């Protein structure tokens, strides 16, 4: 693995993109960028506040620019779950190793704490997650260089699986 390697971690909310991405970057000795955290820092607002104050189109433009910039540099990048639907991001992902962290709705709901929300909120959020997975899964599949099922795996095991596949790809 060279120091100039570029790796993107994609997947649905709750897949573990930030956690696994950070661990993978540490293991590889590469910088780590979480696109959502970058946007929040640069804008001085949480993602949900940007959505509420400026709308989804504005957020997606910020996300596109931050993602494309991050993917141009060596390192591991945790890409926002919906960024893959933006053509410029999808194009940029074709030039890097893409690790798709697969997750079921049930596991993503647990990881996101949706199982502790009120019934109405839980139903709406779970329905949104189901819709997002249906829409995004074919895109994730198409872009993925490496796919890992994260439902019943610990972070260390996921990183080991990715490392093994990266070594195979280097051959």
Model confidence pLDDT, tens digit, residues 64-77: 999 999 999 999 99
The fold of the 6-159 domain, in CATH, is Rossmann fold (3.40.50)
Q: Name the residue with higher pLDDT: 123 or 82.
A: 82
Grade residue 170 by pLDDT with cuts at 50, 70 and 90: low
- Break the chain into its structural domains and give their ranges: 6-159
105-145 pLDDT, tens digit per residue, is 777 767 666 555 444 344 566 677 788 788 888 999 999 99
pTM value is: 0.86
Q: Which residue has the tokens 């060279």?
A: 2
Distance CA 73, CA 4 (A): 8
Inter-residue contact 135 to 154 (CB < 8 Å): no
Any idea what DSSP says for residue 113?
A: T
Length of the chain counted residue by residue: 171
CB atoms within 10 A of CB 69: 14
22: Cα within 13 Å, side-chain hemisphere: 7
């Amino acid at each position: 693995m060279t120091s100039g390697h570029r790796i993107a971690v994609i997947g649905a909310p709750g897949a573990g993109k930030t956690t696994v991405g950070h661990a993978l970057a540490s293991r590889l000795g590469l910088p780590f960028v979480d696109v959502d955290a970058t946007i929040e820092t640069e804008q001085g607002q949480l993602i949900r506040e940007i959505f509420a104050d400026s709308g989804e189109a504005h957020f997606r433009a910020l996300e596109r620019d931050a993602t494309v910039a991050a993917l141009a540099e060596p390192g591991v990048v945790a890409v926002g779950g919906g960024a893959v639907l933006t053509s410029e991001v999808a194009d940029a992902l074709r030039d890097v190793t893409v690790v798709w962290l697969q997750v079921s709705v049930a596991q993503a709901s647990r990881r996101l704490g949706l199982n502790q929300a009120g019934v109405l909120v839980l139903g709406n959020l779970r329905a949104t997650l189901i819709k997002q997975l249906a829409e995004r899964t074919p895109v994730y599949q198409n872009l993925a260089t490496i796919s890992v099922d994260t439902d019943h795996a610990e972070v260390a095991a996921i990183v080991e699986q990715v490392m093994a596949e990266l070594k195979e790809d280097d051959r």
